[in-house]
Amino acid sequence: MSEFVKGLEGIVAAQTEMSYIDGEKGVLEYVGIPIGELSAKSTFEETVFLLWNKRLPTRSELDEFTSELRQRYELPAGMEQRVTSLPTNAEPMHVLRTMVSALGMHDAQPNEIELDRARRKCLNVLGHAPTIVAYFDRYRRGLPLIHPDRSLSFAENFLYMLNGEKPTATMARAFDICMILHADHGLNNSTFAARVIISTLSDVYSALTGAVGSLRGPLHGGANEGVMKMLNEIPSVADVESHVMGKLERKDKIMGFGHRVYKAKDPRASDLQGLAEQLAKDTGNEDLYAKSHAIEQIMEREVAAKGIYPNVDFYSATTYHCIGLKLDLFTPMFALSRIGGWSGHIIEQLDGNRLFRPKAEYIGAHNAPYTPIDQR
Ligand code: CMC
């Protein structure tokens, strides 16, 4: 009889060559390359190529991959109309989930899962998703849509479509770094969801739709919005101590802290901290960074002994705010990047598939009587 492990904690349920995590030492590598190297030297496009191919591209391979991605910035015919007929008060994560699903209806052969075909469908979603989010945001604000510009990188183009003007090099690079840092992370919940769905030999759109749904939860990608809400609730740095201590006394979770795998500071949080500090200075949001830093110091004093440290969501909140993103776009940003990682896992799963079908331990009654309805 196999042992029941709640939350599958510590269970190895897949093999991957994409990312390696040492939670005790706070190490994250993509295909063996330390995350800090990639965030300092790579681009999101190159990082996705790395994750999908398990090696860095040559110049011409990168150019070709980038060009294929840029060809997918424009939405298929009919999709723009779908996005602009949604309720304007819909949450962007619900919009993204529904529209990723809808993309399957705009593909003449949505169910193809041969590796090269599946890969092309992943590229479709990776290219289309930023346009979906930017179009929806402008539509709900009553602004004219800004069509994508294929001369721009993934990061530049998204910010351009959102704001109607080309981002500064600093903003575009900051956003690109966020995309690199969020691209993959072992068998996290949404990646597991994608792998579980594709393991039935369903289709890429279904697997990515399920993954978006998983990511929005506050214990997963939704935590970055929770961090920002908490920062907004705290009037000033002087109020941080009482606010955090109050939460800890009530046994409330502090969003952006703790991780199922890391028992040290998440290396992505360290990278984002530097970025958040710089952007906060550049954009006059020093107070936001100061509050975040004060929270981290209190958490270090109070709960570090339990292995609770900042995770990727903690400083990404300040970073996204300084880039000018609205609160409910924070989790969609995580998704735009993670589509790269989910896709790599879908391809890995298809390449050597085994249906996921664990068992449940039955803990109910046996031989129970069937009582007729009028006697219950
Ligand atoms: N604030 C305060 N205490 C915490 C926190 C936190 N954020 N996280 C864990 N703890 C405490 C928890 O109360 C428990 O204490 P005790 O043993 O005294 O009851 C202990 O640490 C173990 O916590 P757990 O919830 O059993 O641990 P887990 O492995 O299930 O939790 C987690 C992982 C991410 C769900 C949890 O840390 C959490 O809810 N964090 C806040 C949400 C968050 O930031 N999520 C983003 C995760 S990283 C990005 C991603 O993967 O999406």
Tell me the CA end-to-end span of the chain in Å, nearest whole number: 36
Across the range 171-188, mean pLDDT stands at: 96
For ligand 1, pick from 265, 306, 314, 316 the residue to mutate: most ligand atoms within 8 Å of CB.
306
For ligand 1, pick from 35, 254, 259, 263 the residue to mutate: most ligand atoms within 8 Å of CB.
259
Residue 243's H or E segment, with its range, is helix 240-249
Q: Are 142 and 89 in contact (CB under 8 A)?
A: no
Q: Which residue has the tokens 């129970």?
A: 368
Point out the residues that are catalytic: 220, 259, 313
Q: Are 353 and 199 in contact (CB under 8 A)?
A: yes
Structure tokens at 179: 């995309």
Structure tokens at 308: 């609770």
Q: How far is the CA of 21 from the centre of ligand 1 (A)?
A: 18
Q: What is the pLDDT of residues 246-298, one digit of tens each?
A: 999 999 999 999 998 999 999 999 999 999 999 999 999 999 999 999 999 99
Q: Which residues contact 220 (CB under 8 A, 6 or more apart)?
A: 188, 189, 190, 214
* Closest to 227 in 3D by CA, of 331, 152, 154: 331
Q: How far is the CA of 254 from the centre of ligand 1 (A)?
A: 8
Boundaries of every domain in the chain: 223-323
Between the CA atoms of 304, 26, 42 and 51, what dihedral angle is there, to the nearest 10 degrees? -120
Distance CA(296)–CA(75), nearest Å, equals 41
Task: For 97, list phi and psi in degrees, rounded to 5.
Answer: -60, -45
As a CATH number, domain 223-323 is 1.10.230.10
**Atom 41 (ligand 1): residue with closest C-alpha?**
255
Atom of ligand 1 at shortest range from CA of 307: 21
Distance CA(211)–CA(218), nearest Å, equals 14
Instruction: Concatenate the DSSP letters of all residues of 309-372 into one string.
Output: -B-HHHHHHHHHHHHT--GGGHHHHHHHHHHHHHHHHHHHHHTT-----------S-SS-----
Q: Which residues contact 307 (CB under 8 A, 6 or more apart)?
A: 262, 263, 264
Q: Are 51 and 344 in contact (CB under 8 A)?
A: yes
Distance CA(235)–CA(80), nearest Å, equals 40
* Closest to 163 in 3D by CA, of 178, 187, 149, 145: 145
Atom of ligand 1 at shortest range from CA of 306: 21
**Atom 19 (ligand 1): residue with closest C-alpha?**
251
Q: How far is the CA of 312 from the centre of ligand 1 (A)?
A: 13
Using CA atoms, how far residue 185 sits from 45, 138, 190, in Å, is 17, 31, 10
Q: How far is the CA of 7 from the centre of ligand 1 (A)?
A: 13
Q: What is the pLDDT of residues 334-360, one digit of tens each?
A: 999 999 999 999 999 999 999 999 999
For ligand 1, pick from 6, 192, 257, 300 the residue to mutate: most ligand atoms within 8 Å of CB.
257
Measured from CB, residues less than 6 Å from any atom of ligand 1 are: 188, 219-221, 223, 253-260, 303, 306, 308, 311-313
**Atom 6 (ligand 1): residue with closest C-alpha?**
253
Q: Which residues contact 226 (CB under 8 A, 6 or more apart)?
A: 218, 255, 256, 313
Q: How far is the CA of 259 from the centre of ligand 1 (A)?
A: 6
Is the pLDDT at 1 greater than 80, yes or no? no
Distance CA(192)–CA(345), nearest Å, equals 9
Distance CA(6)–CA(90), nearest Å, equals 33
Q: What is the pLDDT of residues 21-70, one digit of tens each?
A: 999 999 999 999 999 999 999 999 999 999 999 999 999 999 999 999 99
What is this structure's pTM? 0.94
Measure the CA angle with vertex 60, ends 58 and 66; round to 5°: 100
Measure the CA angle with vertex 349, ends 346 and 351; round to 5°: 110
Confidence band (pLDDT; 50, 70, 90) for 2? confident
